[in-house]
Amino acid sequence: MRIILLGPPGSGKGTQAQLLVQRYGIVQLSTGEMLRAAVAAGTPVGLKAKEIMASGSLVPDEVVVGIISDRIDQPDAKNGFILDGFPRTVPQAEALDELLKAKRLKLDAVIELRVNESALLHRVETRVAQMRERGEEVRLDDTPEVLTKRLANYRSQTEPLIHYYSERRKLSTIDGMMAIDEVTRAIDRQLQALGATEPQEAGKQTSKGKTRSAAKTAPVKKAKAAKKSAKKPAKAAKKAAKPAKSAKKASKKAVKGPRKAVKKTVKKTVKKAAKKTAKKAVKKGAKKVAKKVTKKRAKR
């Protein structure tokens, strides 16, 4: 399963990505983390990225795509991945399409978590106010001002991706303002509808490594197996009865055969005897008539 989660800051992408990772055994690919890992590993692409970052420049798309290419070739990404923070622009989306095409892979779904920006700002304002009341330190990047700027960047750079993926029939939009578990269920339904995953995969992992849904279907499977086993002796008995039936049929045929032959012989014998008797009678009758004629002639 290969999916992209889209949504503005505060839409809950990170939370849902983690839940999908646990649920389906796939990996979350964050461009920031991948860049740091590539630099630490000293890969050719990582060294190039290190050089660019050291000069204070932004890492170009081709370098980021190269890092993603190396990362999805690793064994833990075999079952699939969620891209987090990439693509951010339409050119990046096009580069990703080319990369997946070259690797003979396909993107299964793009999930957009749609949220109300005013509600997001209100949430941040409330949270910041509560933290200040408690005397807690507020992060510099967790303020309504910063969020307003990030939302503006999202609208100008990333929002065009919604149109891009919608045209390619990859986009599914979900209400990100719902409760976390409701959003998770809605994502599962969309993935199943798109054929990205099977319904039984959606169960949580149990202590034995089986899914909850698999655990639920186990008694049903056992009952089916028991029914099948119960049918086996009946089947065997039926099979065993077949030769007996055939033997009965054969013996009937064997008895019927001689009977038919005897009947035929008797019929033939009777016919022959009747013919012989009739011949004899005709001969005798003829002799009698001849005798009478001779007698009459003698008297004259």
- SS3 readout for the chain: CEEEEECCCCCCHHHHHHHHHHHHCCEEEEHHHHHHHHHHHCCHHHHHHHHHHHCCCCCCHHHHHHHHHHHHCCHHHCCCEEEECCCCCHHHHHHHHHHHHHCCCCCCEEEEEECCHHHHHHHHHHHHHHHHHCCCCCCCCCCHHHHHHHHHHHHHHHCHHHHHHHHCCCEEEEECCCCHHHHHHHHHHHHHHCCCCCHHHHCCECCCCCEHHHHHHHHHHHHHHHHHHHHHHHHHHHHHHHHHHHHHHHHHHHHHHHHHHHHHHHHHHHHHHHHHHHHHHHHHHHHHHHHHHHHHHHHC
13 is in an annotated binding site: yes
The single residue of 50, 114, 123, 127 carrying the catalytic annotation is 127
88 is in an annotated binding site: yes
The single residue of 13, 48, 71, 170 carrying the catalytic annotation is 13
Domains of the chain plus CATH, in order, are: 2-204+211-216 (3.40.50.300)
132 is catalytic: no
Print pLDDT tens along the chain (300 aa): 899 999 888 888 888 999 999 999 999 988 878 888 888 888 888 888 888 877 777 788 888 898 899 889 999 998 899 997 789 899 999 999 999 999 999 999 999 999 888 888 888 888 888 888 888 887 776 778 888 888 888 888 888 999 999 999 999 999 999 999 999 999 999 998 887 665 444 444 433 444 444 444 445 455 556 555 555 555 555 555 555 555 555 555 554 555 665 466 646 765 776 677 656 755 666 566 556 656 666 665
87 is in an annotated binding site: yes
15 is in an annotated binding site: yes
71 is catalytic: no
The model's pTM:
0.59
139 is catalytic: yes
36 is in an annotated binding site: yes
127 is catalytic: yes
